[in-house]
Structure 1
Amino acid sequence: MTEVLLIVGLLVAAFVGYNIGGATTGPAFGPAVGANVITKLMAAGLMSIFFFLGAITIGPQVVTTLGSDLVHTTAIFTLKANVAVLFFIGGALFLGNYAGVPASTSMTAVGAISALGVATGELNFAVLGEIVVWWIVAPIIGFWVSGVVGRYFYPRINAWIAIEGSRDGEPMIAIDWRGAVPRFQFGGSGTRREITGSFVVVGIGCLMAFSSGTSNIANAIAPIYGTGQVPMTPLIVIGSAAVAVGCFTIARRTMETLGNDITNLPLTAAIVVAVVASAIVIVLSAIGIPASFVIIATMSIIGLGWGRATRTTTLSDARRGEETRVSVGALTAEEEGEQAPEIGEEEPEDIPKASDLFDPSTTARVILMQNVVPIIATVGAFLTFEYVPIFGF
């Protein structure tokens, strides 16, 4: 019976890893894919590689501490309980991925484990409270920092970087496999600044993938490792392989949502989002908080799109001698055929439509699902551990 439960536990852990790949690839490489810097296939490959590197190097530390800080005793992590926890984590994440919305793996995992702690009376509320506070504060910081950049500094940054995503439908960075040695191919204008910017946004995506591996691998394998029946390294390999499968399959939906549906991201915007989200995730990791990687990146994308759509400028009326402050979105809502006024140093044809920069309906769907998914895992796990007698709690 124990062997059967262990096999089931490993399969459920792999299912969790599969959904982690689907949930985290979008925030890491959605900007680069949305800006048409790399293809979804290349994004999946890079995510798989750097996730594994993070998991095999720093990941073991997170795996060994995930169950010890949040609960008072690890005795509650029985094999039956671990299978149930992983089932609710994987099932809830699958719902989010199926809807094309990447949910927070950390929030979902912590919610399910906390439910087990509440049902057994072993939850450390002080640690949980500290984590939740940062989960609330960090996305708000990401939204407003990105919003301020989009509203006040984006045109200046864009002029300084002076690069755009590929407009001919071809990715800006591709690999030519035809020769004996693979070579990079560059689309767009091929200028040095454009190529450098492309590598920057891809590099930051790789950094985010590495960070995801350091923390999210624990969400898939920590409960199984806590039983002491499987060594650490084989579990990391199994979990990372499952993540890779998710990267190449279901992650395509979340990359589409974060790269195209919420906001239309040129390469400059992709770099801004990646820098803001990466900085916040790194700071939280440094102080020992399990970062809600997906939520921070998503809110940064939303904040930048909102900031760009609501950017204001001063228009002068020479006949009346008046100046009026209006938003970029209001200017672009004029009927076709009317001459669009110049905005500062921008050309009229470069003024983006508000609907192209920020989609409120998609944003609402993303925020709703990212809160619903952890709630489903938490409530489902609590009801199971509290009222199903086979767990013996």
Structure 2
Amino acid sequence: MVELSAALLFVLAISASFFAAWTIGAGSSGSTPFAPAVGANAITTLRAAFIVGLLGFAGAVLQGAAVTETVGAGLVEGVTLSPLASAIALTIAATYIAAGVFAGYPIATAFAITGSVVGVGLAIGGEPAWDTYAEIGLYWSVTPVAVAPPAYVVTKLLRGEAVSEKLVVTVLGASVGLVVANMEFLFLGPPGEQASFAAVVAARLPGSSLFGVATTTAAVAAGTAWLVARALDRDRVGAQRRFLLVLGALVAFTAGGGKVGLAVGPLLPLAEGAFPVGAIILVLVFGGIGILLGSWMAAPRMIKALSQDYSELGPRRSIAVLIPSFIFAQIGIFFGIPMSFNQIFIGAMAGVGYAVGGDTVSERKLVLTAVAWIGSLVFGLVVGYLLQTVAISLVELA
């Protein structure tokens, strides 16, 4: 009977994890990245959904390890999540996220899942991981405020006449290349570790590793700038659309890497117990498949809806939203911080809105959204703690 109960809990945890991954793919991770390109008629809705699913899967497998490890083992100290605790945390979070997706409300996935994991972890006797909370809290607090000014500046530059559009877009392309050169991927580093393209190349160059990384980064940034400038010379409108496609691809990839850990992080301790070798790869592939299917099955409807908003923004303002969003999301992945793409995108959209006059920005709605996000964190924490405590009591009575 005990073995049967443990097996049922394991199945429940896996099912809830997969459902959470599916909702991530169906939500902002599967729809927002390519909505600007669809709005600019650079790609069709169905093709965008197909590509974003593949890129989300690739990002999950190649860049999802850091956030997965934080969610799975870094939020509570001194304990390992049991099958029961994992099942409760994932069921709470998946239900909450699904309610937001089907209601059409931007739920902050990172807040809901982080809260539920911390809640069940504390209930089984874990200690708060204060250092991790400080890092996460700083990132969550700073990101929506810090992402708005770059979006504002880029919008002003692209709309103004003081600096040529070609120069602005070329510099933006160079900044994207700089970040891409330093994105860390699982299979570039030693077994179980991540490394960036710049670091791998630097290891093969003479001199210090810091100089090698700087040189490689500069070369990639310069090469990207040259390609963008050349494309703009040939066809300015076509180059803008292709730039949007590239940005959408990078954001979709980043979304997979940044959010898969929210769905599969609580599964990691269980997978490590069952598969001591290769557990991280196993859960990342599992979560990536969930994101892939969510994107293919549900994202087209949301892409179509969002593309109407982005078509009103136009290619220039869409670029101003996507570039800082991509950069700040990659910062979160680098530090292994659970992130909310809704939070990042809304901050960038607010910056763009203020740049064009501020009439489209509802400060009241921004405040209410922030309160809802904080509420989702508290909800997950309290409900997770209470349900886990009740479950422990029931097990003891049985």
TM-score, normalization: structure 1?
0.71
Provide, for residues 310-362 of structure 1, a one-character-per-residue CA deviation record: whole Å limited to 9, x for no partner: 4xxxxxxxxxxxxxxxxxxxxxxxxxxxxxxxxxxxxxxxxxxx45xx46687
1:193 aligns with 2:241: no
**How many correspondences in the alignment?**
322
Match of 2:45 among 18, 22, 40: 40
Aligned to 1:336: none
Residue 241 of structure 1: how far off its partner (Å): 2.0
Match of 1:15 among 16, 19, 30: 19
- Write 1 or 2 for the structure with the bigger share of helix: 2
Aligned to 1:247: 295
Structure 2 letter corresponding to 1:141 = A
Instruction: Mark the CA change 1:198 to 1:85 in structure 2 (over 3 Å): closer, same or farther.
Output: same
Aligned to 1:140: 145
| Contact 1:262–1:362 (CA under 8 A) maintained in structure 2 | no
Instruction: Mark the CA change 1:304 to 1:262 in structure 2 (over 3 Å): closer, same or farther.
Output: same
Aligned to 2:203: none
1:382 aligns with 2:385: yes
| Contact 1:32–1:202 (CA under 8 A) maintained in structure 2 | yes
Larger Rg: 1
Structure 1 letter corresponding to 2:389 = E
Look up the SS of the partner of 2:339 in the other structure: coil
Match of 1:283 among 312, 319, 331: 331
Structure 2 letter corresponding to 1:229 = A
More contact order relative to length (CA 8 Å, sep ≥ 6): 2
Look up the SS of the partner of 1:66 in the other structure: helix
1:222 aligns with 2:260: no
Residue 270 of structure 1: how far off its partner (Å): 0.9
1:66 aligns with 2:65: no
Provide, for residues 37-64 of structure 1, a one-character-per-residue CA deviation record: whole Å limited to 9, x for no partner: 3233222222211121122223234434
Q: Give, in whole Å, the separation in 1 of the partners of 2:69 and 2:54.
A: 22
| Contact 1:109–1:219 (CA under 8 A) maintained in structure 2 | yes
Look up the SS of the partner of 1:6 in the other structure: helix
Moved more, 133-142 or 366-375: 366-375
Instruction: Mark the CA change 1:391 to 1:64 in structure 2 (over 3 Å): closer, same or farther.
Output: farther
Mind listing any 5+ residue stretches in structure 1 that lack a counterpart? 163-190, 311-353
Residue 379 of structure 1: how far off its partner (Å): 2.9
TM-score, normalization: structure 2?
0.70
Moved more, 95-104 or 296-305: 95-104
Look up the SS of the partner of 2:160 in the other structure: helix
Aligned to 1:169: none
Provide, for residues 174-230 of structure 1, a one-character-per-residue CA deviation record: whole Å limited to 9, x for no partner: xxxxxxxxxxxxxxxxx7222222121121121122222223222212222211236
1:294-373 equivalent positions in 2, closer than 5 A: 294-310=342-358, 354=359, 358=361, 367=370, 369-373=372-376
Instruction: Mark the CA change 1:284 to 1:59 in structure 2 (over 3 Å): closer, same or farther.
Output: closer
Q: Give, in whole Å, the separation in 1 of the partners of 2:394 and 2:334.
A: 40
Q: Give, in whole Å, the separation in 2 of the partners of 1:25 and 1:362.
A: 24
Provide, for residues 262-303 of structure 1, a one-character-per-residue CA deviation record: whole Å limited to 9, x for no partner: 893201111111111111222333344333333112210122
Structure 2 letter corresponding to 1:135 = W
Mind listing any 5+ residue stretches in structure 2 that lack a counterpart? 168-233
Provide, for residues 143-184 of structure 1, a one-character-per-residue CA deviation record: whole Å limited to 9, x for no partner: 23323444566334997259xxxxxxxxxxxxxxxxxxxxxx
Aligned to 2:185: none
1:154-233 equivalent positions in 2, closer than 5 A: 154-156=159-161, 160=165, 192-227=235-270, 228-229=273-274, 231-233=279-281
Q: Give, in whole Å, the separation in 1 of the partners of 2:333 and 2:96.
A: 24
Q: Give, in whole Å, the separation in 1 of the partners of 2:371 and 2:395.
A: 32
| Contact 2:93–2:113 (CA under 8 A) maintained in structure 1 | yes
Q: Give, in whole Å, the separation in 2 of the partners of 1:157 and 1:97.
A: 42
Residue 364 of structure 1: how far off its partner (Å): 6.6
Q: Give, in whole Å, the separation in 2 of the partners of 1:372 and 1:35.
A: 35
RMSD: 3.3
| Contact 2:75–2:128 (CA under 8 A) maintained in structure 1 | yes
| Contact 2:63–2:333 (CA under 8 A) maintained in structure 1 | no
Aligned to 2:100: 96
Identity %: 23
Q: Give, in whole Å, the separation in 2 of the partners of 1:258 and 1:364.
A: 22
| Contact 1:96–1:370 (CA under 8 A) maintained in structure 2 | no
Q: Give, in whole Å, the separation in 1 of the partners of 2:284 and 2:342.
A: 21
| Contact 2:157–2:163 (CA under 8 A) maintained in structure 1 | no
